[in-house]
Structure 1
Amino acid sequence: MDQHALALLKAAESWDWPLAYRIKSSGGQDSKFKAIMPKLLSGFITESQSLGGTLVDQFWVVVGQCHPQLEENIKILRRIGFYSPRHSEIVLFDGVERETINFSPIFEMGAELFTHLCVAFMNPGGPKSRSGTPFSVSDFIAKDTDELLDIAASEGLGTRKQAALKALIFKRDGQSCPLTGLSFDTEDSVKPHLAHIIPNSVHNKPDTIKCIAMLAGTAVRDLVLEQLNDLGNLLHIELNAHVAYDDIHWGIEALNENGVVRFSSSTYFAITHRSPKVKYIYRRVPYKTAKGPGIIRLHDGDQIVFGGGPEAARLGPGPNPSLCNLQLAVARVLRMSGAADIIAQIKDDGDDSDFPHVYIASPAFCNILTAQLQLAGGVFL
């Protein structure tokens, strides 16, 4: 059914997609938003099939809500093979006048994915790791691994936990950036930045968690909930690489020993489990052959080497592979569909650094407020 879905969405690129009020009032983004929606849904369906999610099944449920006859025609599509995009479209709309179809449920699904996945992943939020914490990380590195694990498990989201996690990643991955090859040295301003594979912005957002389950399956959803602020979701990288990651310019593809990207929850290497064989691959988003961006020394397709620390055998060879593949899937859809460009513009619209010069109730103030509501997870409907 994924091929039928992709055929339908290709045809949908010519549809007259309705617009959300906030999009209409947000700096002329309306036509761009209309253009990306079919590509956005197609991209998420394709990525979901690779990750083992159920998004394509939900898509057909939503299509069936657009007209009673469509439910019957979808049953026929399920029984026949895929022949061509045109054939799929003819079978789906057989006996249905297009003017009587209410496509709103499909539009709403696209807007929901845009809001709760694209915006959430490209607007990381949460605390950034900069020069350090009130606790000396070097002091924590000297602690026994068991003690660090106990601190990380018992300290909630506080700075003491962050210091313990930073120390554990040094013990797992070593003292250099796996992307740039630079050795961390605070005296030379090469500082380790604690990067989250899945951004902090998904924390306490049930709609985003629901979309993650639909995209990648419930096992991956559970891993996100369990590991969002733990060792499996973290790595140390240099600032230049961190900024490029937050801006969705690269990601990590994790492959198992058979070259497959899908990982079940049973293969996740929690601290108390032995790790499966995992190969981490550097991916430019979108694909480019040159090194970079910035001072990143890797080309697309190069292996990223984690696990160079003294406790790698115990703490695992690197970050959680399922979380890496989830982030990369969303990043690809963001860039492929054009959603990244729209969100970048919304972030610019929401910049209130000149707020003292903007009058309340002025058009500029309203645009800033609208953009900030969108970035905070306001639904684009």
Structure 2
Amino acid sequence: MEQHALGILQNEDLLGWNETGKQGGTFRAITPKLLYYLIEESQKFGGDVLDQFWEQLGACDDKLKENIESLKQEDFVSAQRSFDVLFRGLDPKDVDFEPVLEMAAEFFTHLGVAFMNPGGKKSGESTAFSISEVVNEKTDKLLQRVKEEGGFGTRKQELLKALSFKRDGNFCLLTDQPFRPFNNAGVFLQLAHIIPNSVHAKPDTLKCIAMFAGAAAVDEVVHHLNNIGNVMNMEMNAHGSYDNLEWGIEAKEEGGEVKYFFRTIPTKTNIRGPGFITLRDGEEIQFGKGPEGKKLGNGPLPTLCSLQLAVARVLKMSGAADIILEWKDDADDDGCYRLFSASEEFRKMFDAKLFLSGRAVVG
């Protein structure tokens, strides 16, 4: 049924979901593509998005549910044939697609927005360690302190940053530039999370991850979210392009060991990464070259890398990422108090902040 689903979603104009002129209209226009790539990437993990799609589509109309059973008996021939069987005796314009549109909206909000707008105040916030205070500590001591620190506060992030130095070295793996303060002429760094650690407080996001990638994947997220397997140090501009889903990390097992590859999104073979990144699409990222690389796992957890890359591809290829970035711009006021704000601009900013905070689901 995968080929049938992907074929039908390619007939996006016939589905008539491209309503405009109201809140969510832009989102509805990209919904077929969003579902297409959700299904395609979920199938690689053995997730349940495909089954959920057919269940929600069947809930739209009794005749449609009957036709889905007929479609199950048909081999895939062409997208048009799948479409014709599905809507035999029906006009798509007369079908209320709300159940399947709601499904797409849930993934958009609880997976897409959560990955691109981690936001929120970190729990257990506290005064950070300085790099000099922790970087020279022995690895076992750092690991123990990470365990004792708990929570998601600043002090724990500094400990993870020190562990990342020990695993990968004192330079940016993307730009090949040394980090400050190890080199005064080096680049400024940020600790990047492969999966945003804020998802620990978002049960709806964890449910979407489980449906998208399976129970095993969500278990790895929960257990390793705030540990060395989910972080890496990188130059701050490289971090910005990573958060904007311009690139991701592909983890593959080769010769009995895991190797990591830089991937642009969408894939553009042999094209150099954005900004100061020197790697080209398909080139290996040299994790684990620090003094304690082997002890610290030689790199981030492959499942977390694969999950982030899959979600990034879904959002970028469908156009959902562009909508979220636009909403982030609308929500990004400069913090200055204004006596008056134009009503339309204020409404857009308020709506965007509701969506990005997860307190509203796009419709």
| Same fold, TM-score > 0.5, yes or no | yes
- 2:22 maps to what in 1? 24
Which residue of 348, 351, 371 maps to 2:352? 371
- 1:163 maps to what in 2? 158
- 1:334 maps to what in 2? 315
Q: Does 1:114 align with 2:112?
A: no
Q: Does 1:247 align with 2:244?
A: yes
- 2:173 maps to what in 1? 178
- 2:212 maps to what in 1? 215
- 1:12 maps to what in 2? 12
Identity %: 52
Looking at structure 1, the residues matched to 41 and 164 of structure 2 have their Cα atoms a distance apart, in angstroms, of 29
Displacement of 1:207: 1.2
Looking at structure 1, the residues matched to 324 and 147 of structure 2 have their Cα atoms a distance apart, in angstroms, of 35
- 1:317 maps to what in 2? 298
Q: Does 1:235 align with 2:215?
A: no
Looking at structure 1, the residues matched to 148 and 348 of structure 2 have their Cα atoms a distance apart, in angstroms, of 42
- 1:286 maps to what in 2? 266
Displacement of 1:100: 4.9
**Superimposed CA distance per residue, residues 238-278 of structure 1 (whole angstroms, 9 cap, x where no aligned partner):** 112111111111100111227xxxxxxxxxxxxxxxxx611
Structure 1 residues 61, 279: closer, same or farther in 2, change over 3 A?
same
Displacement of 1:75: 2.5
- 2:221 maps to what in 1? 224
Structure 1 residues 358, 254: closer, same or farther in 2, change over 3 A?
farther
Looking at structure 1, the residues matched to 154 and 111 of structure 2 have their Cα atoms a distance apart, in angstroms, of 27
Structure 1 residues 134, 206: closer, same or farther in 2, change over 3 A?
closer
Structure 1 length normalisation: TM-score? 0.86
Looking at structure 2, the residues matched to 299 and 277 of structure 1 have their Cα atoms a distance apart, in angstroms, of 22
Q: Which runs of 5+ in 1 are unaligned?
A: 259-275
Contact 1:286 1:336 in 2 (8 A): yes
- 1:61 maps to what in 2? 55
Looking at structure 1, the residues matched to 248 and 284 of structure 2 have their Cα atoms a distance apart, in angstroms, of 12
Displacement of 1:134: 3.1
Displacement of 1:19: 6.1
Secondary structure in 2 matching 1:79? coil
Q: Which runs of 5+ in 2 are unaligned?
A: none
Contact 2:168 2:287 in 1 (8 A): yes
Looking at structure 2, the residues matched to 355 and 137 of structure 1 have their Cα atoms a distance apart, in angstroms, of 33
Displacement of 1:320: 0.9
Secondary structure in 2 matching 1:80? coil
Looking at structure 1, the residues matched to 72 and 144 of structure 2 have their Cα atoms a distance apart, in angstroms, of 51
**Superimposed CA distance per residue, residues 79-113 of structure 1 (whole angstroms, 9 cap, x where no aligned partner):** 33211112212222234454553211111111111
Contact 1:77 1:92 in 2 (8 A): yes
CA RMSD in angstroms comes to: 2.4
Structure 1 residues 358, 34: closer, same or farther in 2, change over 3 A?
farther
**Superposed, which structure 2 residues align to 1:27-66 within 5 Å?**
30=25, 32-66=26-60
Secondary structure in 1 matching 2:240? helix
- 1:357 maps to what in 2? 338
- 2:362 maps to what in 1? 380
Looking at structure 2, the residues matched to 373 and 252 of structure 1 have their Cα atoms a distance apart, in angstroms, of 30
2:40 is aligned with what amino acid? T
Structure 2 length normalisation: TM-score? 0.90
**Superimposed CA distance per residue, residues 282-304 of structure 1 (whole angstroms, 9 cap, x where no aligned partner):** 01112334312111000101111
Number of residues paired by the alignment?
Answer: 355
Looking at structure 2, the residues matched to 354 and 162 of structure 1 have their Cα atoms a distance apart, in angstroms, of 26
- 1:273 maps to what in 2? none
Contact 1:192 1:238 in 2 (8 A): yes
- 1:137 maps to what in 2? 131
Contact 1:126 1:200 in 2 (8 A): no
